[in-house]
């Protein structure tokens, strides 16, 4: 009985495996089919995911293997932790040329150390120093960043020691606000940005404080001269009491940087108030006469408009303050003013009929003067630097103009027997160019533009042009006790002055012309008008408002060779 019961129970358990059981019960058959489909799908999906995962893992392993192979190329051996990054391969010719320029800098510097240490400038032929800027050690301060960039650290340290122990600004001397700013404030700030040595910042703050009272005018347009010990700002008598455009609009880079480095806004506020006032009276073509009344804020209605002496660096700084502020909103109005001025520049450009040299005229009232200063040869570099802020069509137009003007400036050099440029050139109908003022005082503007054009276009022709200019300096201006300018580029007769900007600008730009673009990169640095590089820092502030002022005319004044750099031709 018990055995029969167990047999019946076992039969009941196995009935679920018999197909006939489900054929008699359709609902259970349907449930079984659904369960089968679900289980099949889950198993298939898991297998698919596993295969995809394995495929992905295999791909990653292959990539890891490839990276290991690449690593071997740089390390030279498997398993090393340190990667040797690929080295920028320089042209051996560039290296040789750069070393020649460095040797020229050493010759100029050692001559200054030997014969003019602590003085503003060296007179190489008479082997003595002169204080052209009140005894501020202009050549020494101007040379600090050049020495640092060239890796001349022993010379830099010696100069730093003089700055620490002997540089004194408490002098009863009427200094040019412009020249002192671009050479001394700019030179000290650049040395600080490069070295991080706070001594230079402290000295820059000292001289900056002494210059600030020059901006104490009803409009904020500064006076152009000030006594470093006693203040008493004033203008040159020969300007009829007016301020000079370039001298008044070429302190913004330095004073903005001084505020950024010290955290004190007073320097920036003073310098930018000038631009706010100028912007208020800004003409539709962006071209300003070279004289502005500091009491009314009005530009002269009949003084010269020029991109040469006394006008030049005002336009340069409109662009460079925009670059210095990292092209942010607070400096947008500088770029807008600059673009307006560049449209005005186009109205001054003419071309010779013989060789198609393009040049920049000066404007007197309603008439054009077909004269161009070598000082205006900074314009090709400025246009090249500014071209990137335009749309494609305008960028190409202004870069093309930069190339044409650079060719003209290069021929300022090539057209003379010494292959050195005169101070200015005249253009006459049916002719190309003829030298006007025939001295050469070692100016840098053409070489400066070649640096910008080479870096922006990559065309090595600009390096070759620069090398030719350097060789002409070596042949005509180098003597045993330094470098001198020429009284006449036609005869080669020498003067007796080694301008401080020869070390600050001309040799620095030549050195950079044969250096990789990463050396003082345009992405990180902006050059002041004395070639002192300042770190680019984004601006977070907003521009100042503009106050209304009345317009007043000014009298004519004598022609002077002032502006971007007050170079002197010595007859001693």
Q: Are strands 371-373 and 367-369 parallel, antiparallel or unpaired?
A: unpaired
pLDDT, residue 193, reads: 98
Q: How many CB atoms lie within 10 A of CB 55?
A: 10
Q: Tell me the C-alpha distance between 519 and 451, whole Å.
A: 12
CA distance 144 to 72: 43
Q: Which residues are catalytic?
A: 179, 312, 423, 445
| pTM metric for this prediction | 0.81
Burial 449-460 (b: 16+ CB within 10 A, else e): bbbbbbbbeeee
pLDDT at 10: 47
Question: pLDDT digit of tens for each residue in the chain (572 aa)?
Answer: 444 444 444 455 555 556 666 566 676 667 767 777 676 665 555 555 555 555 555 455 555 555 655 555 444 444 433 334 444 578 999 999 999 999 999 999 999 999 999 999 999 999 999 999 999 999 999 999 999 999 999 999 999 999 999 999 999 999 999 999 999 999 999 999 999 999 999 999 999 999 999 999 999 999 999 999 999 999 999 999 999 999 999 999 999 999 999 999 999 999 999 999 999 989 999 999 999 999 999 998 779 999 999 999 999 999 999 999 999 999 999 999 999 999 999 999 999 988 999 999 999 988 999 999 999 999 999 999 999 999 999 999 999 999 999 999 999 999 999 999 999 999 987 789 999 999 999 999 999 999 999 999 999 999 999 999 999 999 999 999 999 999 999 999 999 999 999 999 999 999 999 999 999 999 999 999 999 999 999 887 644 332 322 333 333 333 333 444 554 444 44
The pLDDT value given to residue 497:
98
User: How many whole angstroms separate alpha carbon 282 and alpha carbon 276?
Assistant: 10
8: left (phi over 0), alpha (psi -120 to 50) or beta: alpha
388: its two tokens: 């990137």
End-to-end CA distance of the chain: 144
CB 286 within 8 Å of CB 343: yes
Closest by Cα among 487, 382, 511, 496 to 127: 496
Integer Cα distance of 190 and 146 in angstroms: 10
Which pLDDT value is given to residue 552? Answer: 34
pLDDT at 22: 55
Q: Is 141 helix (H, G, I), strand (E, B) or coil?
A: helix
Give the separation between CA 271 and CA 251, rounded to whole angstroms: 6
Does 491 show up as a binding residue in the annotation?
no
Give dist(CA 137, CA 288) in Å, integer: 33
Cα–Cα distance for residue pair 337/287, rounded to 1 Å:
10
Q: What is the pLDDT of residue 401?
A: 98
Please enumerate in sequence order all residues whose Cβ is within 8 A of that of 276, keeping only pairs 6 or more positions apart, or say none: 220, 543, 544, 545, 546, 547
- Pairwise CA distance, residues 170 & 138, whole Å: 15
3-state secondary structure at position 567 = coil
């Amino acid at each position: 009985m018990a055995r029969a019961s167990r047999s019946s129970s076992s039969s009941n358990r196995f009935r679920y495996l018999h197909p006939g059981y489900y054929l008699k019960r359709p609902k259970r058959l349907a449930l079984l089919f659904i369960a089968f489909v679900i289980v099949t799908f889950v198993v298939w999906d898991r297998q698919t995911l596993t295969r995809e995962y394995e495929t992905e893992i295999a791909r990653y392993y292959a990539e890891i293997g490839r990276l290991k192979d690449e690593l071997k190329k740089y390390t030279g051996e498997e398993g090393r932790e340190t990667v040797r990054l690929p080295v920028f391969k320089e042209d051996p010719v560039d290296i040789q040329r750069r070393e020649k320029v460095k040797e020229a800098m050493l010759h100029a510097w050692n001559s200054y150390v030997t014969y003019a240490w602590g003085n503003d400038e060296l007179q190489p032929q008479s082997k003595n120093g002169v204080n052209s800027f009140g005894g501020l050690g202009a050549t020494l301060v101007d040379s600090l960043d050049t020495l640092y960039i060239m890796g001349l650290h022993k010379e830099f340290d010696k100069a730093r020691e003089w700055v620490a122990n002997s540089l004194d600004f408490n002098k009863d001397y009427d200094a040019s606000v412009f020249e002192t700013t671009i050479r001394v404030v700019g030179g000290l700030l650049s040395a600080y940005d490069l070295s991080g040595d706070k001594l230079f910042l402290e000295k820059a703050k000292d001289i900056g404080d002494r210059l600030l009272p020059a901006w104490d005018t009803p409009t904020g347009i500064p006076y152009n001269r000030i006594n470093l010990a006693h203040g008493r700002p004033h203008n040159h008598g020969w300007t009829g009491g007016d301020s000079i455009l370039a001298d008044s609009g070429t302190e913004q880079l330095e004073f903005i940087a001084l505020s950024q480095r010290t955290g004190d806004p007073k320097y920036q506020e003073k310098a930018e108030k000038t631009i706010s006032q100028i912007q208020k009276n800004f003409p539709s073509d962006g071209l300003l006469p070279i004289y502005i009344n500091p009491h009314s804020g009005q530009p002269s209605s009949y003084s010269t408009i020029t991109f040469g002496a006394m006008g030049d660096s005002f336009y340069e700084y409109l662009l460079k303050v925009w670059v210095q502020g990292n092209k942010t909103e607070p400096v947008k109005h500088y770029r807008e003013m600059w673009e307006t001025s560049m449209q005005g520049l186009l109205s001054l450009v003419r071309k010779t009929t013989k060789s198609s040299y393009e040049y920049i005229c000066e404007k007197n009232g309603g008439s054009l003067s077909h004269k161009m200063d070598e000082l205006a040869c900074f314009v090709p570099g400025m246009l090249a630097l500014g071209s990137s802020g335009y749309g494609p069509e305008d960028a190409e137009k202004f870069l093309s103009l930069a190339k044409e003007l650079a060719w003209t400036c290069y021929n300022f050099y090539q057209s003379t027997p010494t292959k050195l440029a005169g101070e200015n050139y005249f253009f006459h109908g049916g002719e190309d160019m003829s030298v006007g003022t025939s001295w050469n005082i070692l100016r840098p503007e053409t070489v400066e533009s070649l640096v910008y054009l080479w870096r922006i276009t990559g065309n090595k022709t600009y390096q070759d042009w620069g090398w030719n200019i350097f060789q002409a300096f070596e042949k005509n201006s180098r003597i045993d006790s330094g470098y001198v300018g020429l009284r006449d580029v036609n005869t080669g007769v020498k003067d007796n002055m080694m301008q401080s900007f020869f070390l600050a600008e001309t040799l620095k730009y030549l050195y950079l012309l044969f250096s990789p673009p990463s050396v003082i990169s345009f992405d990180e640095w902006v050059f002041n008008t004395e070639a002192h590089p300042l770190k680019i820092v984004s601006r977070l502030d907003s521009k100042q408002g503009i106050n209304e002022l009345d317009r007043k005319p000014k009298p004519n004044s004598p022609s002077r060779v002032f502006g971007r750099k007050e170079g002197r031709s010595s007859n001693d």
